[in-house]
Amino acid sequence: MIKQNLAAIFLLAACACAMSQNRTAIGGCEDCDLMFAGMPSTISWDTQLSPAGEKGDPLVITGTIFKSDGRTPAPGVILYVYHTDMGGEYSPGPGQQDARRHGHLRGWVKTDAQGRYRISTIRPGSYPQGRNPQHIHPIIYEANKGYYWVDEFLFDDDPFLTEKERSAQPGRGGKGIIKLTKDGGVWKGTRDIVLGKNVPGYK
């Protein structure tokens, strides 16, 4: 009887855990499932994407993720990001097996108790022979809801960021255009995110 009760308890715990880890794509999310490829079991609020010796201008993005009310900090939310190298390519790293399509400049942060995150990397390049703005792809994962993309991180001083591009931003998660300043050779900016804002199907 004791063994049966213990087995039932373990089964219920496993079911509860599975229910809390909802990997459902919300509002359409092409290739977003690649965020789970190689995802570490422990994720910090602060991450370094670019390896030592990576060519490009250093870039640090900080911010706060808020709950859907836009005021309350949201702890424990995972933000996955990926972007091109300095040459505008999603180049895989040596021996990279996971999510090669996203290149080697990819990683995760998990907001701290104050909803904060920090990402250190290099400023991405525009696609070769193109006129697209420099950008960083962000995907949010809420364990009890699912995952969805929010507006790309774009940079206000980018000459390819035209008025048409600016007005076309859907505002998913809030505005993604970041004003950068340069401090000691490092580009710095802030991007706050509101969970579910302007995301179709978010409840």
Structure tokens at 79: 């933000």
Question: CA 194, CA 203: separation in Å to the nearest integer?
Answer: 13
Per the model's pLDDT, the better-predicted residue between 23 and 178 turns out to be: 178
Domain boundaries, the chain: 23-194
Rounded to two decimals, what is the model's pTM? Answer: 0.90
**Distance, CA of 198 to CA of 178 (rounded, Å):** 18
Taking residues 28-40, what's their average pLDDT?
95
For 23-194, CATH number? 2.60.130.10
76-88 pLDDT, tens digit per residue, is 999 999 999 999 9
Residue 56 to residue 91: CA distance in whole angstroms: 14
Q: What are phi and psi of 65, to 5 degrees?
A: -100, 125
pLDDT tens readout for residues 148-199: 999 999 999 999 999 999 999 999 999 999 999 999 999 999 999 999 999 9
State the virtual CA torsion across 79, 85, 89, 92 in degrees, nearest 10.
-70
